[in-house]
A and B are shown apart, each in its own frame.
Chain A
Amino acid sequence: MADRGLKISNLQASVGGQEILRGIELVVRPGEVHALMGPNGSGKSTLAFAMTGHPRYDVTAGSVQLDGDELIGLAPEKRAKLGLFLSFQYPAVIPGVSVANFLRTARQAVHPDDLTPSKFRQLVFTQIETLGMDPSFLGRYVNDGFSGGEKKRLEMLQLAILAPKYAVLDETDSGLDVDSLSAVGESVNALRASDEGKETGFLIITHYPRILAHITPDRVHVMMEGRIVTSGGPDLAHRIEREGYDTIRGEVAGALT
């Protein structure tokens, strides 16, 4: 199955007429974990939004294929149905819509009628326990009045409920305390260990390597000025932690011009 994978080829995108992505090349195979690191403003979140079809982000060239299906040009919900998931850095608040209703609607949209109501309920409560959440969470409105940690846990709950083929976690670790970060790591690892999620590929966007202590990446990529400038194994993340991005910026200066 050579076609399988989330394949990003020469992806270029702009926001409000300003070019942000300048030709991204990246392949995430099923079951792999890739970390995408880079300083502020390097285009990491733009990549996430361009892949998922945010209307404010214009893809000007390139392609994103999910197991052979081209995503560019599709509506966001169609990308989700094909198996793409984005954990938002700043998830939207949807007043008046309960978490339970939202989860049920989303699961039904992505995996129609594949679970009985009782199985669905069981899945939700199992995941809530994994994430250390109170069941009363389900009755609250989506992200309405949530703390930063609660928002990220809800993102992880949705990840677990939707069990996508490929998940992009956009700075899921930002603003989390140690316990919340650990819960996020456990949730991702639990999904990876499950039948439904064992082949899920992850692209973890982060500034810092601390989340990578909980989720071991197969590959680490560094993004600067709209391009992936270098890639390596997990050691690359530790090197960034030790040396910062400036050393790498110096090494790849030629590629950035």
Chain B
Amino acid sequence: MPSLSTPALTGFTRENLETLIANLAAPDSAVRRAAFARFESLTPTKPASSARGNETSTITLDGLRPFDFSAVRTPALSDIPDAHVVIIDGVGKVRVDPVLARLGVHATSFRSACAADDGALQTILASLPIEADTRWGSLVRAFATDGVFIDVPQGVRVEVPITIVHSARELDAPAWTLVRAGAGARVSVIERINATAERTFIGRCDVIAELGSHVSITVLQDADPHATVLWSRNSHCASEAVIEWAIAQLGARMATDTLVADLNGEGARATVAAVFFSTKGRFIDFSPRIRHLVPKTTSETVVKSAASAGGRGRSVGDIVIAAAAHGSQASLRADALLLSADAHLDCVPALEIAANDVSAFHGATVGTLDDEELFYAQSRGIPRDEAERLIALGFFEPALARFPDDAVRKELRERLASLLTSENVA
């Protein structure tokens, strides 16, 4: 454990990485250093000239506080009901679930997993190549002090979603979620991400779905409107495995979410459903990249985004079908709704197909609310602002309907409805 006499780290710098390594007495120091080297190699030397306030290279990391050794806290679970694992400011707390324990499912923190010393976490981490990390993923690997580890043994089906929370309250400690589903296993994870004002919250989520497993990851990001949230996600699907990503980006001043879903085994399937709403000068970027690497893999991606009141956003979707991935099927649909004249959204779908005998579709639209739909609703007595809200909510529905949990869908509809108030849509 870290020494309580060591001062707070300020900045994601090489010097502070060494301080962190020394304080954690981390056995993975070489990995952390290599990860930081990758982070540095991926850091632009100067901001893009076309930056419109949405360029993450403009983010200054020097003033951030990844860890405060002088004030190590143990988060309380009491204020976050129903969560299995909570990580607040880089320190985890686990609520033991007897049902999961009986099934042999690990739903724990990295620290607890290390303390148990069964080697599973280290083995999986070692299987994730540093050279595949994104810029933010590298930074998390270098600086993470704790994380969430969910490991579902072969053949085990977890019927109730496992809820985890990543929260940045007073520090900018990176967050990490790692999920492995053994062969034939089934698990659904709800990952909640929140951050207080001014925090810069950097995180990653890695999923390994083994043979014939079924993994569902639901992400609800609802950080303070002044926070910055930068996330990187990766999934690896073995033969006949299914990964379902359902991602809602609702908060933060700036949020970027880069997803790479690899289909590595024949018959693997990935679905991605994403919604985001950007308002009042905020910027949200959700960029999924689905890679069909072997034959007979399928993917379906639906992104629904809306912006109002100076909100901005971007969705750059990419479907890659490798030369070996014959017989694969892929679809990518990205639709954007502009709710005010000063809102801006870019939808850029792309297909990179190197194989013959595949079926691939992509489409994108950017539009405003339809006058005829509005008139129709108004002619039924529904006031204009309510009609706008109703129709805008309907716009999200094809993606919302793919979120796997009834309670989450209800929560999201209510949250979106509150975001679509006249205050945000004006």
- Does B383 lie at the interface of the complex (its beta carbon under 8 Å from any beta carbon of A)? yes
Given contacts A77-B383, A77-B384, A109-B386, contact A96 B396 (CB under 8 A): yes
Mark interface residues in B350-372 (1 if CB within 8 Å of A CB, else 0): 00000000000000000000111
The count of A-to-B residue pairs whose CB atoms sit within 8 angstroms is: 83
| CB under 8 Å from chain B, chain A span 73-127 | 75-77, 79-81, 85-86, 88, 91-97, 101-102, 105-106, 109-110
B375 touches A92 (CB 8 A): yes
B381 touches A92 (CB 8 A): no
A109 to B385, CA, bound (A): 12
B376 touches A92 (CB 8 A): yes
Of the stretches B132-140, B160-168, B324-332, B387-395, the one at the interface is: B387-395
Number of B residues with CB within 8 Å of any CB on chain A? 24
- Does A141 lie at the interface of the complex (its beta carbon under 8 Å from any beta carbon of B)? yes
Minimum CB–CB distance for B423 against chain A, Å: 20
- Does B342 lie at the interface of the complex (its beta carbon under 8 Å from any beta carbon of A)? no
A94 touches B377 (CB 8 A): yes
- The answer, among A54, A55, A75, A80, for a CB contact under 8 Å with B380, is A80
- Does A187 lie at the interface of the complex (its beta carbon under 8 Å from any beta carbon of B)? no
B373 touches A110 (CB 8 A): no
A77 touches B382 (CB 8 A): yes
Instruction: Provide the residues of chain A in CB contact with B379, threshold 8 Å.
Output: 52-53, 76-77, 79-80, 85-86, 88
A141 touches B397 (CB 8 A): yes
B384 touches A75 (CB 8 A): yes
A88 to B379, CA, bound (A): 10
Best-buried of B373, B379, B390, B398 by chain A (most CB within 10 Å) = B379
B397 touches A106 (CB 8 A): no
- Does A160 lie at the interface of the complex (its beta carbon under 8 Å from any beta carbon of B)? no
- Does B424 lie at the interface of the complex (its beta carbon under 8 Å from any beta carbon of A)? no
Mark interface residues in B396-422 (1 if CB within 8 Å of A CB, else 0): 111000000000000000000000000
A54 to B372, CA, bound (A): 9
Best-buried of A75, A81, A94 by chain B (most CB within 10 Å) = A94
- Does A206 lie at the interface of the complex (its beta carbon under 8 Å from any beta carbon of B)? no
A101 to B413, CA, bound (A): 13
Given contacts A77-B384, A92-B370, A109-B386, contact A97 B394 (CB under 8 A): yes
A96 to B373, CA, bound (A): 12
Best-buried of B371, B380, B396 by chain A (most CB within 10 Å) = B380
Number of A residues with CB within 8 Å of any CB on chain B? 29
A54 touches B382 (CB 8 A): no
- Does B56 lie at the interface of the complex (its beta carbon under 8 Å from any beta carbon of A)? no
- Does A158 lie at the interface of the complex (its beta carbon under 8 Å from any beta carbon of B)? yes
Given contacts A80-B381, A81-B381, A106-B382, contact A55 B375 (CB under 8 A): yes
- Does B29 lie at the interface of the complex (its beta carbon under 8 Å from any beta carbon of A)? no
Given contacts A95-B397, A97-B394, A141-B394, contact A109 B370 (CB under 8 A): no
A96 touches B383 (CB 8 A): no
A97 touches B391 (CB 8 A): yes
Minimum CB–CB distance for B248 against chain A, Å: 15
Minimum CB–CB distance for B367 against chain A, Å: 12
Instruction: Provide the residues of chain B in CB contact with A91, threshold 8 Å.
Output: 376
| CB under 8 Å from chain A, chain B span 245-283 | none
Mark interface residues in A195-228 (1 if CB within 8 Å of B CB, else 0): 0000000000000000000000000000000000
B378 touches A105 (CB 8 A): no
A76 touches B393 (CB 8 A): no
- The answer, among B380, B386, B397, for a CB contact under 8 Å with A96, is B397
A75 to B377, CA, bound (A): 12
Mark interface residues in A45-79 (1 if CB within 8 Å of B CB, else 0): 00000001111000000000000000000011101
- The answer, among A54, A88, A97, for a CB contact under 8 Å with B397, is A97
Minimum CB–CB distance for A161 against chain B, Å: 9
- Does A162 lie at the interface of the complex (its beta carbon under 8 Å from any beta carbon of B)? yes
A76 to B380, CA, bound (A): 8
Instruction: Provide the residues of chain B in CB contact with A93, threshold 8 Å.
Output: 373
A141 to B401, CA, bound (A): 12
A109 to B379, CA, bound (A): 11
- The answer, among B371, B375, B390, B398, for a CB contact under 8 Å with A105, is B390
A239 to B410, CA, bound (A): 57
A52 to B377, CA, bound (A): 12
Given contacts A77-B381, A106-B381, A109-B382, contact A94 B393 (CB under 8 A): no
B384 touches A102 (CB 8 A): no
Given contacts A96-B396, A97-B394, contact A54 B384 (CB under 8 A): no
Given contacts A93-B373, A105-B390, contact A80 B378 (CB under 8 A): yes
Other than the given A95-B398, A158-B380, 18 more pairs (CB < 8 A) read A55-B375, A75-B384, A76-B379, A77-B381, A77-B383, A85-B379, A91-B376, A92-B370, A95-B395, A95-B397, A96-B394, A96-B398, A97-B390, A97-B393, A97-B397, A101-B390, A102-B390, A106-B377
A-B contact pairs, 26 of them (CB 8 A): A52-B379, A53-B379, A54-B375, A75-B378, A75-B383, A75-B384, A77-B378, A80-B378, A80-B379, A85-B379, A86-B379, A92-B376, A94-B373, A94-B391, A96-B394, A96-B396, A97-B390, A97-B397, A101-B390, A102-B380, A102-B390, A105-B380, A105-B386, A106-B377, A109-B381, A141-B397
